[in-house]
Amino acid sequence: MRHFLYLTNSRLVSMVTQGKRIAARREFAVSGAGAGEFERYLAGVVDIPTHLFVDLSEEDFRLDTIPHVGARDREAIVARKLSQIFRSSPYRYAVMQGREPEGRRDDRVIYTAITNPELLRPWVDAIERHAIPLVGIYSAAVFSAMLLEELDLVFAHTLLVTFTPGQAMRQTYFRDGEIKFSRLTPVDLEEGQTLGMMVAEETTRTWQYLDSLRHFSGDDRLEVCVLVHPSDRPAVQPELRDFAQIQYRLVDMEQASMKLGLKPAPLDSTDEEVLVHLFLMRPAANHFASPELRRFASLRRARLALNQVSIAILAAGVAWGGYNVFRAFQGNQAEQQLVRSIATLDREYDEITRALPSFGVGGSTMRDVVAFYNASIRSFPSLPEFLVPVSRVLQAQPDVRLSQLAWQATDDPKAMPTMTAGGVKPNVNVQSVAKSEGSAPQQPPAELNANPPYAGGKYEVALLEASVRVGGNDFRGALDRVQKLAEAIGQIPGYRCEVVESPLDVRTSLAITGRHSGSDPASMEARFVLRVMRERVVT
Amino acid sequence: MSTTVIAAAGARNLRVSWVLLGLSIAAAIAIVLGSQWYRERESRESTSAQRRLSEATGRVEAARRERDSLQESAEVFRTLLERGLLQGEHRLDLVEMVNSLRVRHGLFSLDYEIAPQRTLQLPGGRVYPALEVLASRVKVKLRALHEGDVLGFVQDLGQSRQGFYPIDRCLMRRVEAPADALQPHVEAECAFEWITLKDKNANRAS
């Protein structure tokens, strides 16, 4: 919501806007009574930012050029010029209008001021007393340049003619869209004079004035744009006749309002509502109000900014907090899901545990028992199983007589079971004399170790002591028979067999004794020892 | 001068706004810190739950593996239980069994010796965490008419339905005697381990 005041020499119009439309309008007479009424009225619009447009005949314009300098210096020059030209008025303003096309290319400036500040005093004092946030004081003439732009009425030489509340006509001259001059004339029609006649007379007079100031060349033509309500059009249009130097353009107030989006359109030819609406569309910078006059607006802006910052911080905090809570909530939901999963897993664990075959012992015990059985007992060798294939081979050798068998299950592939001495007494005339090596051990079978380690049984080793019946002194035949027997046993799958003691050891490292007397026997029993080994196949 | 006026008026005019700003900042900080604390607490709890889930998953997987493993070996274990592997030594049973085998196989004589029970040293120093492997060394000396009787005795002993008696040594020797005489023709000396197992966990539980 904003509050606009439009001050002329005879009326003060108050317009309160909401959004882009004028929501309330009230007029006050420029008089003591009007000022009192206005002061009472202000009590209801205390906190609304207020903009004051002035459209007074006491507004003066001066054109000038200043050297093109830096911004800071330019401000100083302009301020000094303003104070020199308009010494008695605090309401002064300078419009920078670009640079001269030639010469030093100085900056073009137009100075404007309300030359009689007393006209504003009662209103500004009332605003001050009520601490109204005055955003700015604007020159209606300067601001009306925007109207030309919005209505596409920018010509090389344009004279904008508008009517103000309180029966006055403002003529503002623009060259290439830049304001150069403006004057306000009371609409004080003489008898028989129409509004159109007055407009024609006044605009012609203004042309003459501008021409005297050499604003026009010979070919220039002044485009006079008159903003007029349809109700006044019949009184104006017939009197406006174009000349070579002047061309009139009647700008229909309703059409202009439609183009600007002003609804509803003004009911008469006064331009205050159009300018206010234009200001809402294209806000302008302050023209005349000093910082002190604008302090309540500044404070209000600061307060709003602080409040907005407060709200923003609070909103950011709430948003951040909300995000944290949201994430925490998500985490909480995920945690609940996890807890449910854990409970499910715990139930499954309990079910598995309950369903485990326990047999009264723990799972590890059961596992160890089975592992021990598989590793140490299940495949442990058996003597009968070992002997069955060997026996089949021996049965095929009727001349071989087994006298002693020493069998051992062991993990040592070089193990040599212990036999007892005196199993076979060979009846041979020739014998090798064994020292100790190479013969089967013949020790008492007693185990010296009272705590022998468990025989893993990877190997089965057996010593077979036997004799073979051959012809007398047929040692060659005996050796051959024993060798063939060993080979036959060795051919059993998984068996290996070697001759440990042969019927006659003919190695050169041993001694041989022979005793022949009388006649040799027809046959002899030749002793030998075989070592048979079987390796357990691990499945 | 004007700046001073604005500053003085502004201080009064904006006092509430400044207070509101301070309160907003404080409230925002409190909200953020509080919510952050709550979120971190939830995060910690979630992490803890993740850890517990991981543990529970591991526990269940271990239980599944144990179940699968035990189901495979349950039948074996049942058989071993029935054979008294976990029941300790009942020496009288062994005495009776050996006597019955002697009678069954018509042995002429049977001498045996059962050594004190000891912890059995396994190959490679292998140890079972839940088991103590005990064994008593048993030596038998027997005389028989025929080696088949000896082998039958050994076979029956090894296949006994009660206990495990892995025979690791055997010496069989022919005894000289007239072939048709009713005298021992074979004598044998065998040794085996009488193995029993002890559940370490049972001791711990008790």
Best of A308, A373, A403, A461 to disrupt the B interface by mutation (most B CBs within 10 Å)? A373
Q: Is A402 on the interface with B (CB under 8 A)?
A: yes
pLDDT of B14 reads 81
Residues A283-318: tens digit of each pLDDT: 999 999 999 999 989 888 888 888 899 999 999 999
Place of tokens 């030596």: B139
pLDDT of B200 higher than 80: yes
pLDDT of A445 higher than 50: no
Residues B98-146: tens digit of each pLDDT: 999 999 999 999 999 999 999 998 888 888 888 899 999 999 999 998 8
E strands, A128-287, in order: 134-139, 157-164, 168-175, 178-186, 222-228, 246-252
pLDDT of A132 reads 92
In 3D, which of A530, A377, A406, A379 has the Cα closest to residue A468? A530
Instruction: Give the total residue count for chain B.
Output: 206
How far is B191 from A449, CA to CA, in rounded Å? 13
> Is-contact A433 A513, C-beta < 8 A?
yes
pLDDT of A441 reads 57
Query: What does R_g of chain A's alpha carbons equal in angstroms?
Result: 66
- Answer yes or no: do B21 and A364 touch at CB < 8 A: no
- Answer yes or no: do B171 and A384 touch at CB < 8 A: no
Chain A CB contacts of B20 below 8 Å = 306-307, 310
> Is-contact A61 A139, C-beta < 8 A?
no
- How much of chain A exceeds pLDDT 70, in percent? 94
* Cβ-nearest to A365 among B118, B170, B201: B201
- Answer yes or no: do A307 and B50 touch at CB < 8 A: no
Q: Is B199 on the interface with A (CB under 8 A)?
A: yes
Q: What is the mean pLDDT of residues A532-537?
A: 89
How far is B67 from B74, CA to CA, in rounded Å? 10
What value does the mean pLDDT of chain B take? Answer: 85
Chain B CB contacts of A371 below 8 Å = 128
- How much of chain A exceeds pLDDT 90, in percent? 62
Q: Work out whether strand A134-139 and strand A50-55 pair parallel, antiparallel, or are unpaired.
A: parallel
Q: Is A391 on the interface with B (CB under 8 A)?
A: no
Number of Cβ pairs < 8 A linking chain A and chain B:
281
Place of tokens 């095929």: A396
pLDDT of A437 higher than 60: no
pLDDT of B48 higher than 80: yes
pLDDT of B2 reads 45
Residue A181 CB contacts under 8 Å (≥ 6 apart), including other chains: A61, A63, A172, A173, A206, A209, A210, A213
Chain B CB contacts of A338 below 8 Å = 46, 49-50, 52-53
- Answer yes or no: do B121 and A327 touch at CB < 8 A: no
Q: What is the mean pLDDT of residues B25-31?
A: 92
Peptide bond into A389 cis (omega under 30): no
pLDDT of A150 higher than 90: yes
Buried-exposed string A397-422: b where 16+ CB fall within 10 A, e elsewhere: beebebbbbbbbbbeeeebbbbbbee
Residue B60 exposed, middle or buried by CB count within 10 Å (0-12, 13-18, 19+): buried
- Answer yes or no: do A306 and B167 touch at CB < 8 A: no
- The confidence band for A538, taking pLDDT boundaries of 50, 70 and 90, is low
> Is-contact A123 A148, C-beta < 8 A?
no
Chain B residue closest in CA terms to A341:
B53
Take residue B59 and report the two structure tokens written for it: 């526990």
Residues A342-378: tens digit of each pLDDT: 999 999 989 888 877 667 777 778 878 888 888 888 8
Higher model confidence: residue B57 or residue B71? B57
Buried-exposed string B170-202: b where 16+ CB fall within 10 A, e elsewhere: bbbbbeeeeeeeeebbbbbbbbbbbbbbbbbbe
- Answer yes or no: do B2 and A353 touch at CB < 8 A: no
Q: How far is B101 from chain A (nearest CA, A)?
A: 16
Best of B167, B175, B186, B193 to disrupt the A interface by mutation (most A CBs within 10 Å)? B167
How far is B13 from A304, CA to CA, in rounded Å? 11
How far is A264 from A228, CA to CA, in rounded Å? 16
Residue A340 exposed, middle or buried by CB count within 10 Å (0-12, 13-18, 19+): exposed
> Is-contact B46 A336, C-beta < 8 A?
no
- Answer yes or no: do B32 and A453 touch at CB < 8 A: no
* Backbone phi, psi, residue A113, to 5°: -160, 155
Buried-exposed string A224-236: b where 16+ CB fall within 10 A, e elsewhere: bbbbbbeebbebb
* Cβ-nearest to B128 among A348, A372, A457: A372
Residue A250 CB contacts under 8 Å (≥ 6 apart), including other chains: A226, A228, A233, A236, A237, A240
Q: Which amino acid is at A276?
A: V
pLDDT of B10 reads 63
How far is A187 from A8, CA to CA, in rounded Å? 13
How far is A323 from A327, CA to CA, in rounded Å? 6
Residues A165-218: tens digit of each pLDDT: 988 999 999 999 999 999 999 998 888 889 999 999 999 999 999 999 988 888
How far is B16 from B12, CA to CA, in rounded Å? 8
pLDDT of A433 reads 66
Higher model confidence: residue A507 or residue A495? A495
In 3D, which of A58, A56, A7 has the Cα closest to residue A35? A7
In 3D, which of A279, A225, A281 has the Cα closest to residue A253? A225
pLDDT of B4 higher than 50: no
Q: Which amino acid is at A392?
A: R
